[in-house]
Structure 1
Amino acid sequence: MDSNNFETQAIRTQTERSQYLEHSTPLYLTSSYVFEDAEDMRASFADEKDRNIYSRYSNPNTSEFIDKICKMEGAESGYSFASGMSAIFSTFAALLDAGDHIISCNSVFGSTQTMFKNILPKWNISTSYFKINELDKIESLIKLSTKVIYAESPTNPAVDILDLEALGRIAKKHDLILIIDNCFATPYLQQPIQFGADLVIHSATKLIDGQGRVLGGVTVGRADLVKKVYLFSRNTGPALSPFNAWVLSKSLETLAVRLDRHCENALKIATFLEGHDKVNVVKYPFLKSHPQYELAKKQMKAGGNIVAFEVKGGIEAGRQFLNNIKLLSLSVNLGDTRSIVTHPASTTHAKLTEEERLLTGITGGLVRISVGLEHTDDIIKDLNQALALLK
């Protein structure tokens, strides 16, 4: 029975069963597949047959994971990767040629920034940037060589919200490819394709896994674009392992219930921090004080699990706050069952200049919390004692 309900799709989408008719999808730990005869082998390599050939190309476990994400995002097709960054790099590498131009929001993940600044220019691929509140300036950045508009929403790490519908209109008007990193929201909270995105990228390592176990990434969207990504990746090898795909596919079965609790906890934490005298500002999409609160309510089902706040005292206070933490984890990951605190200015975005960080909303005292599933009383207790020790 087909269903459009997210939770049912996450649980009941199963690519195939073996002859044993197992209830839970088995692991297909094989590097390759056999053929019935020479003609079967020839036809398979000539793309006359849709079948598994080699696990770098496809595997029942990766196919199931991709199918689930496609249904959740409303996408036509997809391909999975060994990590979120391999998904981002491979997608751009597959779609762009030497001399092409990207327009990106200036507030994106630090490794993505590094890719735009230091890696893609090796192939004469350039990037121009717009600020989160200056979408009206995007059209002035468009060149004859522009091919892609790229953004995250919510952004990493300042959880700003971009108007996806407005980005979609601009991209369609100028026949550009709109790519959205939907990692912070997941397909449970937001589906960018509904607002005009052509491709959606996830670091499945984060909330999709949800327990800090495995790496993974996925790109889904228009079939014609995904085919280019697939052909590039089939030959260059950034494929997701069957084991990790199996873990991630099982994780999707609990994504909705986990996200409901993550979001509930995060809103409580954000509300607590907003009233603390050692905190300058708190950013959480579903706080009414968030600059894009109404837009967040329009685009997202709930506010996600990331809370960003600025402690008083700048970069030294930010580092001291982390040193004061007792219960929460100090890690650069996010989306875990365990709450994680990070100081972006000295970790994920440390390679940017201070000026570049400030342009993306990363002040010296900015702290990012990935709110987990612990009891909120315990999370608040740890945050409160860490703040109290600041001078």
Structure 2
Amino acid sequence: MTNQEKIGTKTVWAGESEYLVHGATQVPVVLSVSYGYDDMDEWYDVAIGKKKGHIYGRNTNPTVQAFEDKIKALEGAEAATSFSTGMAAISNTLSTFLFPGDRIVSIKDTYGGTNKIFTEFLPRQQVEVTLCETGHHEQIEAEVKKGCKILYLETPTNPTVKITDIERMAEAGHRAGALVIVDNTFATPINQNPLSLGADLVIHSATKFLGGHADALGGAVCGAKHLIEQIYHYREINGATMDPMAAYLILRGMKTLHLRVRQQCQGAMKIAKYLQTKSIVEAVYYPGLETHPNHEIAKKQMADFGGMLSFSVKGGVDTVRELLPKLKYANRAANLGAVETIVGPARTTSHVECTPEERAAMGIPEGLIRYSCGIEDAEDLIADLEQAFARVENSIKV
């Protein structure tokens, strides 16, 4: 493929032709752990990367490589490498570049697992971590200017969907000589391409929107070849390898990514506007709303506003306990980005690792509900919310 095709065509065709065999139209699942060579010199050339090929499943695999080629194409990157999970992608990438005495600047509102790396694991490795108020661009710029090895961003954030200006922050990071990394899981390559906005590396939890069917774990990092080679080397030695069956399932899911995300964006916008009309709802968090504090930045850097939203309800946790079981068209689960709508409070999903005090410090109310809009008809999802709200309002004083 060239770079001229539109994103929908790339989701279907990119990265696959090289791996089709025996006239098959679909990439096969290659489950072999090892790959044999009669020619010792050829084996050696493949082993040292001088020649294309595979030697051992912990290093590379044809099915996995097809996934890497597809996400590389969607993000407009020179190279990509994959991981067993999204958190493996994040932790391995940070571990590749950070050493004792280094400094990283990030935001307070990152995913709970990422936040734990910042607050628990990196300090243990003598890495200095500074977390800034999300959306406070002047504060981030001031901290970056003091010097840092990495500027790490997540936009939109999980679960409060706050937005950071990637282009502005990338410029600040590069002025300070920092590597700029962006978690693009919520936006997906359909809605946002951080590399085109100046980021050096873009990370995905492929478990979420990329796979889209809640049946496979995976992660990916895309960027310049010389950076990806370093991350790949760390991963191949430490072993957080993507499983070939997971790669196959995620590849299959990615073929409909543009269709799913389009439907999810449309549904999320309708639901966000509906939630604004409900007296039981204290606040609605969705960057597509004009009331969102970073709406203009989102308009500038996103093609659409995503399928993720969150809202907080009056009565806090008590209302959440009553409301969620009454929803018919929503899985109450710790996942997102699937074809089915998924709901859950941050205290059991994105930030279960954090204490109530830590969540409060991040601006996450205990009554906040994360809502991952599926591909169902928005009218049915709204009717479902309406009947659940009505039943809760009748049983709880809010």
Q: Give the TM-score taking structure 1 as reference length.
A: 0.95
Match of 1:101 among 94, 100, 103: 103
Equivalents in 2 of 1:265, 1:201: separation in Å?
Answer: 25
Q: CA deviation at 1:304?
A: 0.7
**What is the aligned partner in structure 1 of residue 156 from structure 2?**
154
Q: Is the contact made by 2:135 and 2:294 (CA closer than 8 Å) also made in structure 1?
A: no
1:59 aligns with 2:53: no
In structure 2, the CA distance between the partners of 1:267 and 1:240, relative to structure 1 (3 Å rule), is: same
**What is the aligned partner in structure 2 of residue 295 from structure 1?**
297
Equivalents in 1 of 2:382, 2:215: separation in Å?
Answer: 25
In structure 2, the CA distance between the partners of 1:347 and 1:24, relative to structure 1 (3 Å rule), is: closer
Equivalents in 2 of 1:143, 1:36: separation in Å?
Answer: 55
1:126 aligns with 2:145: no
Number of equivalences:
391
Q: Percent identity?
A: 36
Give ranges in structure 1 of 5+ residues lacking alignment: none
Q: How does 1:25-40 map to 2 (within 5 A)?
A: 25-40=27-42
Q: Is the contact made by 2:19 and 2:66 (CA closer than 8 Å) also made in structure 1?
A: no
1:163 aligns with 2:165: yes
Equivalents in 2 of 1:25, 1:50: separation in Å?
Answer: 18
**What is the aligned partner in structure 1 of residue 6 from structure 2?**
5
Q: Is the contact made by 2:307 and 2:373 (CA closer than 8 Å) also made in structure 1?
A: yes
Q: CA deviation at 1:379?
A: 1.3
**What is the aligned partner in structure 2 of residue 79 from structure 1?**
81
Equivalents in 1 of 2:287, 2:82: separation in Å?
Answer: 28
Q: How does 1:209-288 map to 2 (within 5 A)?
A: 209-288=211-290
Q: Give the TM-score taking structure 2 as reference length.
A: 0.94
Residue type of the alignment partner of 2:133: K
Structure 1 residue runs of 4 or more that deviate by more than 6 Å after TM superposition: none
Match of 1:311 among 307, 310, 313: 313
Q: Deviations over 1:208-228 (max 9, x none)?
A: 111111001000112111111
In structure 2, the CA distance between the partners of 1:139 and 1:204, relative to structure 1 (3 Å rule), is: same
**What is the aligned partner in structure 1 of residue 358 from structure 2?**
356
In structure 2, the CA distance between the partners of 1:9 and 1:323, relative to structure 1 (3 Å rule), is: closer
Residue type of the alignment partner of 2:35: Y
Q: Is the contact made by 1:100 and 1:145 (CA closer than 8 Å) also made in structure 2?
A: no
In structure 2, the CA distance between the partners of 1:18 and 1:315, relative to structure 1 (3 Å rule), is: closer
Q: Secondary structure at the match of 1:80?
A: strand
Q: Is the contact made by 1:186 and 1:208 (CA closer than 8 Å) also made in structure 2?
A: yes
Q: CA deviation at 1:145?
A: 6.6
Q: Is the contact made by 1:84 and 1:216 (CA closer than 8 Å) also made in structure 2?
A: yes
In structure 2, the CA distance between the partners of 1:170 and 1:60, relative to structure 1 (3 Å rule), is: same
Instruction: Please tell me the root mean square deviation across aligned C-alpha atoms, in Å.
Output: 1.7
Q: Secondary structure at the match of 1:345?
A: coil
Equivalents in 1 of 2:169, 2:51: separation in Å?
Answer: 38
Q: Secondary structure at the match of 1:342?
A: strand
Give ranges in structure 2 of 5+ residues lacking alignment: none
In structure 2, the CA distance between the partners of 1:132 and 1:145, relative to structure 1 (3 Å rule), is: closer
Q: CA deviation at 1:47?
A: 2.8
1:135 aligns with 2:137: yes
Q: CA deviation at 1:290?
A: 1.3
Equivalents in 2 of 1:139, 1:274: separation in Å?
Answer: 33
Q: Is the contact made by 1:101 and 1:143 (CA closer than 8 Å) also made in structure 2?
A: no
Equivalents in 2 of 1:56, 1:345: separation in Å?
Answer: 35
Q: CA deviation at 1:87?
A: 0.5
Q: CA deviation at 1:250?
A: 1.8
Q: CA deviation at 1:171?
A: 0.9
Residue type of the alignment partner of 1:180: V
